[in-house]
Amino acid sequence: MKKDEPPLDFPDTLEGFEYAFNEKGQLRHIKTGEPFVFNYREDLHRWNQKRYEALGEIITKYVYELLEKDCNLKKISIPEGYGVIVLNPNENYIEVEKPKIPVQSSSDSSDEPAEKRERKDKVSKETKKRRDFYEKYRNPQREKEMMQLYIRENGSPEEHAVYVWDHFIAQSAAEKVFFVAHSYGGLAFVELMIQREADVKSKVTAVALTDSVHNVWHQEAGKTIREWMRENCCNWVSSSEPLDTSVESMLPDCPRVSAGTDRHELTSWKSFPSIFKFFTEASEAKSSSPKPALTRRSHRIKHEEL
């Protein structure tokens, strides 16, 4: 902590931060009516980041309460009996002070196929690299040497996606399942398809990606997966073009269209009207045909433009 840095003692309510949501669901300052300001204290990036994270935790709990109360959804801790609720699949770990004696991993992957073990090692290294970079940027003046205890079977976004599929989606009675996957979530979905291809094809009706960072070549997605994605997926990408304008892609997977914004973090919000229309058409196509063949999104958009 810097000598002139205020203590990291933040309120535990929205009112304590002097923020509230208005009738449009926008976060606004109670007194000024202004949107959230990250740089609340000049030249104190670490303190501002911690304030941002503290407020984010409050908003996360608030949204989960709305999902339970207004949408009648049920909150479940995962893994079963582990008592951990995963709020952010990108940070599926709890942080503790590093002990003097190294902790040995209890997992034994000696019986796994070499190809699967190699892929897991590659994903693990890339995940650690991203987290190390993020942590260094977020908190360059860490006071204690810390270690991360990854949540069992949910230690990465890819593992989390497979776990949720196996334990919840695959066991549900829903006949039509729809995915909205933003940014790295698109990569996690492709990995899910690689590991559960037949199950995903039989249960998922359509997939909306928003500024997805997946890469079917680097992830080694097979031909049948690429073909299915071309017919059942669409990626709304950041672009200055109007919503649904076709955007050229160099990858042989799903069509790409403009999300109507060039800001990555707004691509989901801006493209929601188009996404729900896409889902409605996919659902109707599946209901009207025993073997539905969803019209390619890019072709449909060009037809609408004509």
Residue-wise pLDDT for 17-59, tens only, equals: 999 999 988 999 999 999 998 888 888 888 888 999 999 999 9
Distance in angstroms (rounded) separating the CA atoms of residues 255 and 208: 10
Confidence grade of residue 130 (pLDDT, cut at 50, 70, 90): low
Q: Where are the alpha helices (DSSP H) in 176-256?
A: 184-195, 197-203, 223-232
Average pLDDT (164-177) is 91
CA 219, 89, 203 angle in degrees (round to 5)? 65
Average pLDDT (264-274) is 94
Q: Residue holding tokens 């290294």?
A: 125
Q: Do you find a cis peptide bond into 273, omega within 30 degrees of 0? A: no
Residues β-bridged to residue 178:
206
Q: In this prediction, what percent of the chain has a pLDDT beyond 90?
A: 46
Residues β-bridged to residue 93:
150
183 is catalytic: yes
Structure confidence at residue 80 (pLDDT): 60
Distance in angstroms (rounded) separating the CA atoms of residues 125 and 58: 31
Query: Is the confidence at residue 98, as pLDDT, over 60?
Result: no
Residue type, position 6, single letter: P
Structure confidence at residue 251 (pLDDT): 80
**Torsion of Cα atoms, 208 then 295 then 215 then 185, to 10°:** 10
Element (H, E) at 97: strand 93-97
Confidence grade of residue 76 (pLDDT, cut at 50, 70, 90): confident
- Catalytic residue, candidates 156, 183, 238, 268: 183
Distance in angstroms (rounded) separating the CA atoms of residues 254 and 26: 33
Structure confidence at residue 9 (pLDDT): 82
Tally of CB atoms within 10 A around 62: 13
Mean per-residue pLDDT of the chain: 80
Range with the poorest average pLDDT among 42-51, 106-115, 267-276: 106-115
Distance in angstroms (rounded) separating the CA atoms of residues 123 and 112: 15
Q: Residue holding tokens 């002990």?
A: 99
Residue type, position 290, single letter: P
Average pLDDT (92-121) is 60
Structure confidence at residue 115 (pLDDT): 73
Structure confidence at residue 201 (pLDDT): 96
Per DSSP, 115 falls in state H
- Closest to 192 (Cα-Cα) out of 235, 159, 167: 159
Structure confidence at residue 89 (pLDDT): 45
Average pLDDT (88-112) is 53
Distance in angstroms (rounded) separating the CA atoms of residues 242 and 50: 36
Average pLDDT (198-220) is 94
Range with the poorest average pLDDT among 46-50, 121-125, 126-130: 126-130
Average pLDDT (185-196) is 95
Q: Do you find a cis peptide bond into 79, omega within 30 degrees of 0? A: yes
Q: How far from each other are the two terminal CA atoms of the chain, in whole angstroms?
A: 60
Confidence grade of residue 141 (pLDDT, cut at 50, 70, 90): very low
Q: Which two tokens stand for residue 163?
A: 């776990």
